[in-house]
């Protein structure tokens, strides 16, 4: 017997089918609500609205679970790597050795940027916002790529690898451009992360030494950012993709949504917040007082879904000590972060609002330790999130969903007539 919920609307009683997910999540299907009752739902930030069904990532915000295709993030962080997780997200399973080899070869073959493409970089001012450049250059990439994943699965797989690989190269080029450094061509023989670091930090003509502790740390950062179900930027990718816009256009829009300081831009705000305290602007206690007076946010804390620890924050907190020790970096900002966390976790203001550290609270400390400048943090978030955006875009494309077009509750003026200018006040 199919489960239904009954909604009594005025004289009407409307039954709506209940849809149940594999983890027991329940949603009632309101696709016929307006036709049958004249009502729409009202849920401005969509916190109570299931916009889609998805089999990619599951989050249990109360228990602090994060799983990709059913595999807990803790196991993936310990046993997998970014490229394998990217494959898992996009193609729905862990790759065999041959599948992994072919995917890696595709990434290597697609790392370079067209020479004409690089000329576009020359048009940016050196102080251009890295996320503006990233979004622009992802769309520019589609000008050099006639397919952009509008074809069959094979063409999609090629375009997905191309976008993941080129986003990494574009990220490195943005760093070089903003620092007035010559570009370093990708080395197709190097693995994904090592290639990125070499393009970022090597000096042309010299041998760049790749340190395993650094590549491991950055691989973990990318892996932990790879997907996070229907967050703001992923929902943007889906929204844009629902008009049948191509993969590059949809992901370029995702970059813009991620840029916001309440979303992916928070990792930059966290470092600036820690720096204010470190530079003696105020103590951690004083900063938290400002937060409680609602003058500032405690960046890197809070989450729409996690009302417990963000499991990614736990992993990053545990790894930050190890990474900094391995790299031989002692960062006072890490001590400040730990102090802020300890104070907040025993302060009823934060405990009552279920505010815990999220992925952005510790990620910046690690990125800073491996030499990534703060203004590039959100670009690296986007590089890590690209496989998730691609996977979500494909899942929606394969379901052939209708174009997204929400309704509204209109609150403007009721019907009025045009007023000739001489009669206006």
**2 vs 45 by CB, closer to ligand SDX:** 45
Q: Write the DSSP assignment of 345-399 as a string of letters.
A: HT-HHHHHTT--B-HHHHHHHHHHHTT--GGGHHHHHHHHHHHHHHHHHHHHHHH
State the nearest-atom distance from the C-beta of 335 to ligand SDX, in Å.
Answer: 20
* In the complex, minimum distance from the CB of residue 288 to ligand SDX, in angstroms, rounded to a whole number: 9
What's the rounded Cα separation, in Å, for the pair 299 and 264?
A: 11
Shortest gap between Cβ of 337 and ligand SDX (angstroms)? 13
CB atoms within 10 A of CB 411: 5
Minimum CB separation from ligand SDX for residue 301, in Å?
4
CB of 266 to ligand SDX, least distance (A): 3
Report the alpha-carbon distance of residue 219 to residue 73 in Å, rounded. Answer: 14
3-state secondary structure 64-83: CEEEECCEEHHHHHHHCCHH
- CA 333 – CA 271 distance, rounded (Å): 8
Sheet holding 65-68, edge to edge: 57-60, 65-68, 71-72
Select the residue interacting with ligand SDX from 231, 236, 319, 378 (CB under 6 A).
231
If you write DSSP's letter for every residue of 8-53 in order, what string do you get?
EETTEEEEEEEEE-TT--EEE--TTHHHHHS-----TT-TT-----
Among 184, 237, 291, 333, binds ligand SDX (CB under 6 A): 291
- Is residue 262 a contact residue for ligand SDX (CB under 6 A)? yes
CA distances from 123 to 118, 127, 137, 174, 347 (A): 9, 12, 12, 12, 49
Q: How far is CA 413 from CA 178, 187, 203, 327, in A?
A: 48, 61, 62, 62
Gap between the Cα atoms of 405 and 425, Å rounded: 37
Cα–Cα distance, 50 to 16 (Å, whole number): 15
Binding mask 11-40 for ligand SDX (x = CB under 6 A): ------------------------------
Convert residues 186-225 into a mask of x (bound to ligand SDX by CB under 6 A) and - (unbound).
Answer: ----------------------------------------
**Which residue of 297, 329, 345, 374 would you call a contact of ligand SDX, by CB under 6 A?**
297
Which residues does the annotation mark as catalytic? 303, 360
Round to whole Å and give the CA distance between 232 and 244.
19
CB 218 within 8 A of CB 193: yes
Please report where in the chains the tokens 């003058």 appear, as a residue: 295
Q: Under rule CB under 6 A, how many of the chain's residues touch ligand SDX?
A: 21
Stretch that binds ligand SDX, among 113-121, 260-268, 325-333, 417-425 (CB under 6 A): 260-268
Inter-residue contact 200 to 175 (CB < 8 Å) = yes
Among the listed residues 131, 359, 372, 382, the single contact to ligand SDX using CB under 6 A:
359
Which of residues 142, 215, 250, 358 is near ligand SDX by CB under 6 A?
358
Asked whether position 303 contacts ligand SDX by CB under 6 A, the answer is yes
Q: How far is the CB of 259 from ligand SDX (least distance, A)?
A: 11
- Residue 67 within binding range of ligand SDX, rule CB under 6 A: no
Nearer to ligand SDX, 186 or 302 (CB): 302
Asked if 66 is part of the footprint of ligand SDX (rule: CB under 6 A), the reply reads no
Least Cα distance to 94 among 114, 110, 111, 79 occurs for: 79
Based on CB atoms, which residue is closest to ligand SDX, 241 or 264? Answer: 264
Question: CB under 6 A: which stretch of 132-140, 159-167, 302-310, 333-341 binds ligand SDX?
Answer: 302-310
Token pair 């740390």 is found at: 217
Does residue 302 interact with ligand SDX by CB under 6 A? yes
4-12, 50-58, 259-267, 417-425 -> range binding ligand SDX (CB under 6 A): 259-267
Q: Is 228 in the site for ligand SDX (CB under 6 A)?
A: yes
- Give min distance, CB of 291 to ligand SDX, in A: 5
- The residue whose Cβ lies closest to ligand SDX is 302
Contact assessment for residue 224 and residue 316, using Cβ atoms and an 8 Å cutoff: yes
| Interface positions with ligand SDX (CB under 6 A) | 228, 231, 262-264, 266, 291, 297-305, 353, 355, 358-360
């Amino acid at each position: 017997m199919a489960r239904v919920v009954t909604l009594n609307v005025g004289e009407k009683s409307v039954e709506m089918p209940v849809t149940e997910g594999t983890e027991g999540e329940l949603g009632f299907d309101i696709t016929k609500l307006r036709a049958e009752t004249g009502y729409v739902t009202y849920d401005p930030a969509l916190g109570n609205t299931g916009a889609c069904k998805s089999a990619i990532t599951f989050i249990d915000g109360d228990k602090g679970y994060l799983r990709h295709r059913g595999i807990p993030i803790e196991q993936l962080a310990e046993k997998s790597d970014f490229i394998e997780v990217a494959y898992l997200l996009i193609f729905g399973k862990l790759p065999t050795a041959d599948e992994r080899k072919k995917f890696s070869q595709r990434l290597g073959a697609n790392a370079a940027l067209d020479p004409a493409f690089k000329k576009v970089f020359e048009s940016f001012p050196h102080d251009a916002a890295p996320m503006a450049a990233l979004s622009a250059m992802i769309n520019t990439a589609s000008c050099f790529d006639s397919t952009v994943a509008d074809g069959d699965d094979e063409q999609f797989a090629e375009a997905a690898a191309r976008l993941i690989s080129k986003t990494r190269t574009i990220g490195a080029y943005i760093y070089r451009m903003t620092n007035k450094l010559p570009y370093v061509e990708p080395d197709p023989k190097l693995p994904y992360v090592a290639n990125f670091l070499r393009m970022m930090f090597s000096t042309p003509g010299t041998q760049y030494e790749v340190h395993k502790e650094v590549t491991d740390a950055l691989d973990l950062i990318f892996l932990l950012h790879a997907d996070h179900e229907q967050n703001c930027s992923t929902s943007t990718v889906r929204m844009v993709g629902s008009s049948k816009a191509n993969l590059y256009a949809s992901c370029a829009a995702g970059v813009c949504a991620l840029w916001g300081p309440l979303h992916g831009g928070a990792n930059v705000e966290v470092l600036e917040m820690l720096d204010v305290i470190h530079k003696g602007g105020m103590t951690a206690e004083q900063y938290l007082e400002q937060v409680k007076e609602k003058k500032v946010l405690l960046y890197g804390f809070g989450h729409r879904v996690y009302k417990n620890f963000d499991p990614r924050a736990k992993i990053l907190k545990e790894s930050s000590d190890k990474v900094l020790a391995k790299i031989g970096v002692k960062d006072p900002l890490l001590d400040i972060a730990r102090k802020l966390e300890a104070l907040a976790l025993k302060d009823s203001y934060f405990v009552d609002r279920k505010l815990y550290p999220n992925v952005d609270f510790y990620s910046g400390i690690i990125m800073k330790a491996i030499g990534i400048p703060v203004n590039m943090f959100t670009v690296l978030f986007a590089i890590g999130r690209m496989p998730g955006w691609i996977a979500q875009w494909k899942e929606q494309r394969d379901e052939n969903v209708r174009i997204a077009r929400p309704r509204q509750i209109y609150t403007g003026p009721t019907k009025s007539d045009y007023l000739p200018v001489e009669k206006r006040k």
